[in-house]
Amino acid sequence: MKKKNNFFNIKKSQTNSGFFLNFLEKNIRTHPLLYYIMRSFVRFTNIFEEDANGVKFLNLDKEINLIDVGASDGIATKFFCRVLNVKNAICFEPNKSYVKQLKKLNINNLIVKPYALANKNEIKKIFFPRYKFFSKNLDLIPYTYYDKETLISQFNLDFKFLKNIQFVEKKLYLKKLCKINFKIDLIKIDVNDNGLSVVKSLLKIIKKSKPVLLIETDSDIKKIDSLLKIYGYVKYSFLNYSKKFKKIKNKFPLNTYFLQNKHLG
């Protein structure tokens, strides 16, 4: 796994969630315990990144099927089901505690795949921060990375309080995509530096269904861009204040939309 440059680390700490949410998120991330508590609280709300609102302004079928890779506790899937007419939702998530939460969601035709998606079956090391609160271990799973140096760099960038933190190493089993028998209209990917492998695993679906892709910008985003160009995709950011999509030239936003002409109507 290649180490991210400084520019990329700075971009990852930014948000497109508007002034209030930006202020809130910035303050929450100063202390690991506060982040852990608020991240759990958000699960019971409809708060999600504002640039995801762009899906409401795309030319999609009246009824869609979506894939959520790196679904965590279902925050993105819940958002999409609230703002779009979702027929089937497939969530890929390897973390056992998140899988339990996903299975409890009151969403029709929700399919939970309890493993990490990749373009081949393999085992990789992953690293995540653990905050020690008295005798309790609080794992900050959203900060899971494949590279320890990248994790430490990002964590130090986002948090001011660094005491009682240890960085845990575990093994993660990644699997190839199983067969999906229906058209996919929307794919969201948030996998902290494994996006390229996920996109490669989904290429058959991408070539056949031409779905919208909403991908969290990571260190491999330029390689993803180069790959998706072959299949007619153009990279966009969504400007929430103007409700419009803008082609990305150089600076990638927090989340990147990969669209084709048909998606913009």
Run of H or E residues at 67: strand 64-69
Question: Is 92 part of any domain?
Answer: yes
**In sequence order, what DSSP letters do the residues of 81-100 get, joined into one string?**
HHHS-EEEEEEE---HHHHH
Q: Domain count of the chain?
A: 1
Q: What is the pLDDT of residue 51?
A: 87
- The torsion angle over the Cα atoms of residues 10, 11, 17 and 19, rounded to 10 degrees, is 50
Question: Is 132 part of any domain?
Answer: yes
Domain that holds residue 183: 6-264
Distances (CA, A) of 113 to 58, 99, 173, 250: 27, 8, 13, 35
Question: Is 158 part of any domain?
Answer: yes
Q: What is the pLDDT of residue 19?
A: 47
Question: Is 227 part of any domain?
Answer: yes
- Any idea what the CATH number is for the domain that residue 194 is in? 3.40.50.150
Distances (CA, A) of 199 to 7, 138, 185, 207: 23, 31, 15, 11
Q: Say how far apart CA 78 and CA 80 lie, in whole Å.
A: 6
Q: What is the pLDDT of residue 48?
A: 63
pTM for the structure as a whole = 0.83
The mean pLDDT values, 10 residues at a time, for the chain of 265 residues are 33 42 60 82 66 94 96 93 96 94 93 94 94 92 91 90 93 91 96 92 96 94 97 96 93 94 91
Distances (CA, A) of 217 to 191, 209, 214, 235, 239: 10, 23, 9, 11, 16
Question: Is 195 part of any domain?
Answer: yes
Q: What is the pLDDT of residue 178?
A: 83
Give the SS3 label for residue 24: helix
Q: What is the pLDDT of residue 6?
A: 30
Handedness of CA 82, 70, 180, 100 (dihedral sign): negative
Question: Is 1 part of any domain?
Answer: no
Least Cα distance to 142 among 12, 18, 3 occurs for 12
